[in-house]
Amino acid sequence: QVQLVESGGGLVHPGGSLTLSCAASGFSISSYSMSWYRQAPGKEREPVAYISNGGDITNYSASVKDRFLISRDNVENTAALQMNDLKPEDTADYFCSAIGSERYWGRGTQVTVSS
């Protein structure tokens, strides 16, 4: 059974950090690029970060560039999103997605940035 399971979300103060993890099962992510998306309440889902299947290419949205870092471990079959200097506007549900011959989505993990 193909699954992507996100974890690591929670409540953090502004300026804090969180690292989200995405564990894949039922397929190998090595043939897939991986992305993180987020969806804030009342807003559309938006891309946050992207990493190529080999890990040599990364891209970030302007709103998170220089604060977030995407990574992957093809041996462990996982991806991660390190989030630093978090702001209230980063509050959202965060989803990982695998893009290749198929597209897979996780169910998301909630991140709340609040004092």
pLDDT (tens, 9 = 90+) of the chain, 115 residues, equals: 999 999 999 999 999 999 999 999 999 999 999 999 999 999 999 999 999 999 999 999 999 999 999 999 999 999 999 999 999 999 999 999 999 999 999 999 999 999 9
pLDDT on residue 53: 94
Q: How far apart are CA 34 and CA 98, in angstroms?
A: 5
70 near 60, Cβ under 8 Å?
yes
Q: Please report the DSSP string for 16-47 in residue order.
A: --EEEEEEEESS-GGGSEEEEEEE-TTS--EE
pLDDT on residue 69: 98
Q: What is the residue whose two structure tokens read 């079959």?
A: 77
pLDDT on residue 78: 98
Which pair of structure tokens corresponds to residue 82?
A: 């390190």
Three-state DSSP state, 108: coil
8 near 95, Cβ under 8 Å?
no
**Rounded CA Rg of the chain:** 13
